[in-house]
Chain A
Amino acid sequence: MSPMAHDRQGAPPTGGDPAAEPIPGQTRVRADEAAPAPPQATGRAAARTSMWRLLLRDRVATVAAGVLVLIASTAVVGPWLVGDLATEQNLDAVNTAPFHSENGWAYILGSDSLGRSMLARLVVATRTTISVAVPAVLISLFIGSVWGMWAGYHRRWRETLSMRIADIILSFPSLLLAVVVLYVFSPSAANIVAILAIARLPIYLRTARAESAELQSRLFVDAARTFGTRSGAVIRRHVLPTVLPTLLTVATADFCFVMLSESSLSFLGIGIQPPDISWGLMTAQGRQYLQTSWWMSIFPGLAIVITTVSASVLAAWFRIATDPAQRWRLSLPRRKRSVRKAGQEVRR
């Protein structure tokens, strides 16, 4: 396999460059911002505050993180706030157009063909969508990284076998796998999570394997082994902390892919089943009313786009922020950054 291959759909290579460039003319380093952390802070706490500073300095990444936090909190408390509004039918307010407030705030995004509030339905669908995407990402992240680190640390047949399995899963379009499995088993949320987790497993498996294979020949791992540390402990204490930032970056980018897959499946009618609703399913349901009520399929799709774009932006930022060789770029003012880069890369 080529070195590029692990990047495929999940994390498109960006040429080691912030794909999310901040808006020009922003970020001037202020003296108070650049002040060092208080001396009594421990190393880990200081690292955390400096990550916060880096995030706040990149305006686009800050917005993306804010959007994701908002969506996550909507998924947690939203359905409880909305109550019965999402299923309540109001035949006096069928197909109301969005952005008119005469029917109350609940109809600010319009209503569907049964007079149910679009806003409330979107909020409820947020939970369904997130509760498929997040477990799928977490399961594949956990299994893939443990397996990958184990394979990379021990090398030889374990490595070869694991990589062959990853190749097999990757050489087959994930939607085909889902189509066959969801035909044979019923399309429930748990089955969708399982399929998506299996389909994305190779991404983490490959990344963790490559990093850990490189680490296991390093001096500090050798030293730990010489002192008689067992391989499980070496992987946990020495390999994992080094590999984790990379894996988290991959997971953030992969969140997009998993969400898009779930939406596609729901859209095609083999994902989330009514009466449950997810954003993909709402888009599909609104499709037949496209001629008269465009908002019914445009808004749920827009919610998907906003979430996935935010996740990509944050992943791009995370890739740079966790890379010690590139982190300095984020701590420079924008204008200087381009000058420095121009000197490095441009011809002449």
Chain B
Amino acid sequence: MITFLRRRALTSVIPLAVVVLGVFCLARLTGNPASLYLPLNATDRMRQEFAERNGFDQPVLSQMFDYLGGVLRLDFGESLRTGQAAGGMALDAFPATLQLAGFTMLIAVLGSAVVGSWAALKPNGLADRVCSTMSMVAASVPDFWLAIVGVWIFAVTLGWLPTSGVTGHGIWILPIATLAVRPFGVLVQVVRGAMVSALSSPYVKLARSKGADDYRIVTRHALRNAAAPALTVAGDLTVGLVNGAVVVETIFGWPGIGKLMIDSILQRDFAVLQAAVLLTAVAIFVLNILIDVCYALLDARVRQTVKT
């Protein structure tokens, strides 16, 4: 297991390194970094002082080592807006996004397991066709539009839910519902496909001939084997959830890392943007390893190769 983990960690550390170096190169590619960090109306004197203070007048290689050292110490400089440490701001915003993403995936996975299995019980039946159509629509609706329709119907017209804010349980409903729709739609299709093939396999026939009912067959036999492909896709969807989180957090004023990124773009606060992007990359790196571990624990065939 340790060898397996180490090998996986080594292969996924490469994308991480590419991202870290890529951000550095992009920032230097435009020429003067001062024009990137400072507001558009900064004076020449301000630019010069800024370059001296941050070592931008040094050779590029030594700048790169300074930058890498800073990344290792989570030191990204300070925010132009607030003067706080950029790394700290990103870390503070992180739990809000994590909660949002966690609940969303929990709901999407549980919901799609139920709906997907139900659709797979009678392939091409009415339930199956309704589920297939609905899940395809769900996978192709833009999340920002869904959020706006949600606000329009439930907050503006009916007045049931708050549009944004930080108090009460009501604020959770719309963001999570909006974020969960697309993963749910994709996962229903995956679970359904995997369950159809699992339900037609010999071990399910055996269980059925021994008199097991549908509920027992699905939960005890088929779902365990259908879980592996669903898990892979769920992992990919969680990575893709970052995309949705940026949009949904902006609309609902959720104080997470997506909103922090957009705010720092709109106010040209490069240090904070950089910290937020790199922190997200690290989170994705950890997530990928966790998925691999789950995959290994779930699938006996992979487990065997891990042991040897």
A interface residues with partner B (beta carbon < 8 Å): 2, 4-5, 7-9, 12-17, 19-21, 164, 167-168, 171-176, 179-185, 256, 260-261, 263-264, 267-270, 280, 283-284, 287, 290-291, 294, 297-298, 301-302, 304-305, 308-309, 311-313, 316, 337-338, 341-342, 345-348
**What distance in Å separates the Cβ of B109 from its nearest Cβ neighbour in chain A?**
15
Complex contact B247–A304 (CB within 8 A): no
Complex contact A179–B261 (CB within 8 A): yes
The contact of B262 among A268, A294, A298, A301, by CB within 8 Å, is A268
CA gap between A168 and B295 in the complex, in Å: 20
The contact of A8 among B23, B199, B240, by CB within 8 Å, is B240
Complex contact A13–B265 (CB within 8 A): no
* Contact A280/B144 with A173-B243, A346-B200 known, Cβ cut-off 8 Å: yes
Complex contact A269–B266 (CB within 8 A): yes
Closest to A283 in B: B145
Q: How many residues of B are counted as interface, with CB atoms below 8 angstroms from the partner's CB atoms?
A: 73
B5 within 8 A of A: no
CA gap between A182 and B265 in the complex, in Å: 9
Complex contact A17–B193 (CB within 8 A): yes
Residues of A within 8 A of B262 (CB): 179, 268-270
Q: List the 3 closest A-B pairs by CB distance, nearest first.
A: A15-B193, A301-B145, A308-B140
Could you give, for residues 274-298 of chain B, a 1 whenever the CB lies within 8 Å of some chain A CB and a 0 otherwise?
Answer: 0001001100100010000001000
Complex contact B14–A168 (CB within 8 A): yes
- Which of B47-55, B60-68, B69-77, B129-137 forms contacts with chain A? B129-137
CA gap between A348 and B202 in the complex, in Å: 10
B190 within 8 A of A: yes
**Which residues of chain B from 197 to 250 have a CB within 8 Å of any chain A CB?**
197, 199-200, 204-205, 208, 229, 232-233, 236-237, 239-240, 242-243, 246-247, 250
**Which residues of chain B from 1 to 39 have a CB within 8 Å of any chain A CB?**
12, 14-15, 18-19, 22-23, 26-27, 29-30, 36
Residues of A within 8 A of B277 (CB): 176, 179-180
Residues of A within 8 A of B268 (CB): 183
- Which of B87-95, B149-157, B169-177 forms contacts with chain A? B149-157
Residues of B within 8 A of A268 (CB): 246-247, 250, 262
* Contact A264/B123 with A2-B232, A347-B200 known, Cβ cut-off 8 Å: no
* Contact A14/B280 with A4-B233, A298-B149, A346-B122 known, Cβ cut-off 8 Å: no
**What distance in Å separates the Cβ of B288 from its nearest Cβ neighbour in chain A?**
7
**What distance in Å separates the Cβ of A118 from its nearest Cβ neighbour in chain B?**
16
**What distance in Å separates the Cβ of B267 from its nearest Cβ neighbour in chain A?**
11
- Can you pick out 18 interface pairs between chain A and chain B where the beta carbons lie within 8 Å of each other? A13-B190, A17-B132, A21-B129, A175-B243, A175-B246, A176-B242, A183-B270, A184-B36, A185-B30, A280-B142, A283-B142, A283-B148, A290-B156, A301-B145, A312-B139, A345-B123, A345-B196, A347-B208
Complex contact B250–A4 (CB within 8 A): no
Complex contact B186–A12 (CB within 8 A): yes
Complex contact B233–A179 (CB within 8 A): no
Residues of A within 8 A of B142 (CB): 260, 263-264, 267, 280, 283, 301, 304-305, 308
Residues of A within 8 A of B192 (CB): 15
CA gap between A297 and B152 in the complex, in Å: 10
Residues of A within 8 A of B117 (CB): none
Most buried by B among A167, A176, A308: A176
CA gap between A301 and B247 in the complex, in Å: 14
Residues of B within 8 A of A287 (CB): 148, 251
The contact of B148 among A256, A290, A312, A346, by CB within 8 Å, is A290
CA gap between A311 and B136 in the complex, in Å: 11
Residues of B within 8 A of A316 (CB): 136
Residues of B within 8 A of A173 (CB): 239-240, 242-243, 280, 284
Beyond contacts A172-B284, A294-B156: 10 other A-B pairs, Cβ-Cβ < 8 A, are A5-B236, A12-B135, A17-B123, A173-B239, A179-B261, A183-B270, A264-B144, A268-B250, A283-B145, A346-B200
**What distance in Å separates the Cβ of B125 from its nearest Cβ neighbour in chain A?**
8
CA gap between A12 and B189 in the complex, in Å: 7
The contact of A172 among B19, B29, B132, by CB within 8 Å, is B19
Complex contact B281–A264 (CB within 8 A): no
**What distance in Å separates the Cβ of A267 from its nearest Cβ neighbour in chain B?**
5
Complex contact A15–B139 (CB within 8 A): no
* Contact A342/B136 with A5-B236, A171-B239, A283-B145 known, Cβ cut-off 8 Å: no
Complex contact A184–B26 (CB within 8 A): yes
Closest to B266 in A: A269
* Contact A283/B144 with A173-B242, A180-B23 known, Cβ cut-off 8 Å: yes
CA gap between A14 and B199 in the complex, in Å: 16
CA gap between A15 and B190 in the complex, in Å: 7
* Contact A19/B136 with A267-B144, A301-B148, A345-B200 known, Cβ cut-off 8 Å: yes
Closest to B288 in A: A171
CA gap between A268 and B143 in the complex, in Å: 12
Could you give, for residues 159-194 of chain B, a 1 whenever the CB lies within 8 Å of some chain A CB and a 0 otherwise?
Answer: 000000000000000000000000001100110111
CA gap between A89 and B192 in the complex, in Å: 51
Residues of A within 8 A of B145 (CB): 283, 297-298, 301-302, 304-305
